[in-house]
Amino acid sequence: MQTGFGFGSLARLGLYAAPIGLLLLATAHYFGERLEAGASQAGSVQVAGSETMRPVVTACAEDFMTRNPQADIIVRGGGSGDGIAALLHGIVDIGMASRELSARERDFAASQGIALTVTGLALDGVTIIVNQATAIPALDLGQLRGIFTGKVRNWRELGGGDGEIFPFARVQGSGTAAMFGEHVLGDEPYGASVRRLPTNEAIVAEVAALPGTIGYADLGATKGAGDRVTMVPLRIAPEQAPVAPTPDAVRSGDYPLARTLNLGTARAPSGVARAFIEFCSGVNGQALLRRAGYVKLAAR
């Protein structure tokens, strides 16, 4: 199987190392549980896509490979767009997407006779975070649009203190950026003052370190930030009550930036790929997803 398509070299543990806590959690979970019933799996599976999902799917892969020593699950990021593109071109076995597949992707699959299969793993909320020194009790989507299009440049315009706003966003191709664009920006482009970063973890680090900053990230990336950042409750319109990204609000859809984290295959999965997806959807994988900060799907 090819390993190209603009991704750079594939690494067994992904483009970046998964957070140590997740890997330790996977190891501890293994030694705390008996091996699942069934024959050991053997073979190699390549997974690519969402940077949001990469750390926790890597942790799932480590646990799966410990239980199945003849299996090799190669996980790397690159963004949801790159992962789905690689899947549709036959370069990887599983694509990770932290958004719904686009009409263009589905149309391309149909034109190539590809029967896409998508498995939802967990729910997530795209959280709006500010530096701990910023006192903003809530924001509506119109105010967010103003910030990220450059029309609102000072916190005092939002009821905060006098100070310039420094926004951070994800790079193009990110599923998180795609969802934020669809639900917040609409057809408007990012303002010139917005800095684009490759991962949610990078945004959390910058917002935690720099006063006056604001950004967006997933629940998993914000979980380890502690009180260095503040998650801002959101409302769709100014007259509505703000909603925080709690598990209940994400699951019910009351939080306006809730989404599903997905694994996609180009056909009904089989062999090791199927076994790995079933593992991620099963008791052990779901425990890792929830402890990483994500929300259980209602049906699970």
Write down all domains in the chain, each with its CATH number in brackets: 20-124+260-291 (3.40.190.10), 127-252 (3.40.190.10)
Cα 61 from Cα 168, distance rounded (Å): 30
User: Nearest Cα to 276, choosing from 61, 52, 84, 29?
Assistant: 61
Q: Enter the DSSP assignment of 154.
A: B
Greater model confidence, 58 or 25: 58
Mean per-residue pLDDT for 103-120? 95
pLDDT of residue 11: 31
Give the integer Cα–Cα distance in Å for 222 and 230.
9
Please report, rounded to a whole number, the percentage of residues in the chain having pLDDT higher than 70. 86
pLDDT, average across residues 45-60: 97
pLDDT of residue 226: 83
Tell whether pTM > 0.85: no
